[in-house]
Amino acid sequence: VLKMNCRFPQLVLRTLTNRTTTRLICTSQFYFQNNSSNSQEDNDYFNTSQNYKVLSFLSAVVAAYAGYRYMNEKKLLYVQADSGHEQSLQKVTAGEPRPDLPYYNMDDVTKHSTMETGIWVTYRLGVYDITKFIAEHPGSDIINLAAGGSVEPFWNIYQQHNNPKVWALLETLRIGNLNPEDQADTSDLHNPWSTEPKRHPVLKAASQKPFNAEPPLKLLCDSFFTPNEMFYVRNHLPVPDINVEDYELEISVEIKCDESVVKEKTLKLDEIKKLPKYSVNAAIMCGGNRRSEMTKVKDVRGLSWGAAAVGNATWSGARLCDVLMSMGIKADEESHVQFIGLDADPTNKTYGASVPLAHVMNPRNDVLLAYEMNGKPLNRDHGFPLRVIIPGVIGARNVKWLGSIVISPEESDSHWQQNDYKGFSPSTDWDSVDFTKAPAIQAMPVTSAICIPQENDNITPKNGFITVKGYAWSGGGQRIVRVDVTGDQGLTWTTAKLEQGREPSSRHYGWTLWTAEVPVKAGVKELELWSKAVDSNYNVQPENFANIWNLRGVLSNAYHKVKINVK
């Protein structure tokens, strides 16, 4: 049975060669936003000896439609054993010459640039027709820009596509061969990952390109403030290499306001550092934290995060509300603050997110233009030289490598605001999902996790007790008021001792570390430990994942459960 877990970026690229001009696009539900209003043709990622201004292609669309067609035609890619377990995928290599198919040159491909003529794409020496997918796609008008080109430059960036599953899906759309003399030479393409920063080897990678990683869970409860080098990393695109001397933050105003309001402002980092400095203790948690547990109920799409995609730090910088008030901006309930990063795809489309203006303008919400993390300058993975910190809000809105801020009547139109990081009913699937019907996640729900002991650890009780340690946190500034731990399936509960900051409820943005001494009955050989947290609004974690399952695996906050061996 086909299981398609590949993440497909949305990408618009234009290819200018010495033979012909082609325009292509690749779209997906996972990376790029659906509308491209400010795409640029200059592509800093690619540097070739040919006359390429920007190399482009459409690949994930091909794979996505291939999956659609493949399922409709009921062609099995997997051989299923009698036991019902999947066996290895048959070896497939896409783009190899096929003598049973006709040959096309690049001029033939570029003539197929509209829905009327059909839309084609190339990969190595293969030619593929993706027209039917575009006709049946539920949105993405931008796909109509597509028209022939090479997949290979794209896969230099999103290398998860270089696997037999995607190749097999791609080959179901194969219509012909590309003349060998028309195959683009991509061997000298600039590697967009060549300037990635070095990372601490303790981090466990969920993906390498882009880099996403979390520390071992057992290390989280060793320190109330997570060391910068061990703080989880969530990147969506290559890490930008920013020269701080050239760095500027641009702020613009697009809402209706009186003439006294400054409509545009540019700030150098030194200017931001001269503003009054504030610090806030705040945990940041990825929206997909603990997704791997939810996957045990049913498959979801997204990185397989454990329970360590969270960290706690002291963030320091200027208050954004002070900057905006100095421009004459006033809070209202309708407007939004859009944050745009400097991490970009090959078309210079960047990561973006937004939060309500009213939230930012309230000084008690401590929204910072942060340049320090735990008393040190931000490192590159965490947003050097400047990022926004929005305490109590999902990590996806805390935009790193902050390049510009827009005060707008609309939410950010980025993919990650509109078509990702939203929750849905357990009955919603990819055939029925409508991202426009769900609000973007802001505050995260209450959660907890057991850090020590870990799954399958061998533990010897001391005086009939086992020491259990972990963390708890709730979004929106809610303080953790209690953590309960059980070792007998909830028949009895032990209330944990809490270590937390002194901030009041509604402004308690940091996490809580906890310790519980859980009794163990004599003769017990195996034990399943459960933890659940309660916040200051008396929100409590749900018992299991079945009733909170969602297709993206976000908001994964059921009881944390760990099985151990008792010695």
Determine the average pLDDT of the residues in 455-467. Answer: 97
| pLDDT above 60 for 78 | no
pLDDT at 140: 40
Which residue type does 480 have? Answer: I
Is 245 a residue whose pLDDT tops 90? Answer: yes
CB-based burial, 273-301: b 16+ in 10 Å, e otherwise: beeeebebbbbbbbbbbbbbbbbebeebb
User: What does the alpha-carbon distance between residue 249 and residue 327 come to, in Å, rounded to a whole number?
Assistant: 14
Report, in angstroms and rounded to the nearest whole number, the Rg of the chain calculated over CA atoms.
Answer: 25
The boundaries of every CATH 3.90.420.10 domain in the chain are 204-437
Average pLDDT of the chain?
83
Amino acid at 237: L
Strand-pair category, 512-519 with 497-499: antiparallel
User: Which one of the listed residues 161, 415, 507, 508 is annotated catalytic?
Assistant: 161
Alpha-carbon gap, residue 497 to 503, rounded angstroms: 17
Query: What is the number of alpha carbons within 13 Å of residue 157 lying toward its C-beta?
Result: 32
> How confident is the model at residue 92, as a pLDDT?
64
User: Of these residues, 14, 174, 234, 319, which one is catalytic?
Assistant: 234
What pLDDT sits at residue 185? 52
| Region 376-400 average pLDDT | 99
Q: What residue ranges of the chain are covered by domains with CATH 3.10.120.10?
A: 11-182
Which residue type, as a one-letter code, is found at position 478? Q
Cα–Cα distance measured from residue 380 to residue 372, given in angstroms and rounded to the nearest whole number = 12
- Residue 75: pLDDT over 60: no
Confirm whether 137 is a catalytic residue: yes
Neighbours of 54 (CB within 10 A): 22
Q: Give the pLDDT mean for 545-559.
A: 98
Q: Provide the H-helix boundaries in 306-453.
A: 320-326, 357-361, 415-418
Average pLDDT over every residue of 252-259: 94
| Peptide bond preceding 385 in cis form (omega within 30 of 0) | yes
- How far apart are alpha carbons 326 and 359 in whole angstroms? 17
Percent of the chain whose pLDDT exceeds 70? 77
Cβ neighbours of 428 (radius 10 Å): 17
Contact 483, 496 (CB under 8 A): yes
What is residue 294's three-state secondary structure? helix
Catalytic residue chosen out of the listed positions 7, 137, 190, 200: 137
Query: Which residues lie across from 560 on neighbouring strands?
Result: 531
Domain covering 11-182, topology: Flavocytochrome B2; Chain A, domain 1 (3.10.120)
Question: For this structure, is 161 an active site residue?
Answer: yes
pLDDT of 7 above 90: no
Sort strands 560-566 and 458-459 into parallel, antiparallel or unpaired: parallel
57 pLDDT more than 60: no
Q: What is the pLDDT of residue 119?
A: 78
Residue 428 has which token pair? 């919603």
**Among 413, 397, 427, 345, which Cα is nearest to 54's?**
345
Rounded distance, CA 318 to CA 39, Å? Answer: 31
Instruction: Say if CB 363 and CB 303 are below 8 A apart.
Output: no
Cα-to-chain-centroid distance, residue 333: 28
Asked if 509 is an active-site residue, the reply is: no
Mean pLDDT calculated for residue range 208-231? 96
Q: What's the 3-state SS for 477-538?
A: CCCEEEEEEECCCCCCCEECEEECCCCCCCCCCCCEEEEEEEECCCCCCEEEEEEEEEECCC
Structure tokens, 455: 């799954």
Task: List, in sequence order, every beta strand (DSSP E) within 17-123.
Answer: 21-26, 103-104, 113-114, 118-123
447-566, what's its fold? Answer: Immunoglobulin-like (2.60.40)
Confidence of residue 172 (pLDDT cuts 50, 70, 90): confident
* CATH number belonging to domain 204-437: 3.90.420.10
Q: Which of 45, 53, 48 lies closest to 22 in space, CA to CA?
A: 53
Local confidence band at 184 (pLDDT 50, 70, 90 cut-offs): low
Q: What are phi and psi of 275, to 5 degrees?
A: -75, 160
> Could you report the per-residue pLDDT of 112-133, keeping only the tens digit for each?
877 788 878 888 898 988 777 6
Consecutive H or E run containing 166: helix 164-171
Cα–Cα dist 449/469, whole Å: 9
Q: What is the pLDDT of residue 407?
A: 98
Active site residue 257: no
pLDDT for 148: 64
Q: Is the pLDDT of residue 86 over 70?
A: no
Pick the catalytic residue from 421, 471, 509, 559: 421
- How far apart, in whole angstroms, are the C-alpha atoms of residue 150 and residue 185? 10
Whether residue 286 lies in the annotated active site: yes
Q: How confident is the model at residue 43 (pLDDT cuts 50, 70, 90)?
A: very low
Q: Helix and strand tally (H, E) in the chain?
A: 11, 29
Q: Which residues pair with 483 in a beta bridge?
A: 533
In the structure encoding, which two tokens stand for residue 556, read together? 């994964």
Q: Which of 26, 221, 286, 321 is catalytic?
A: 286
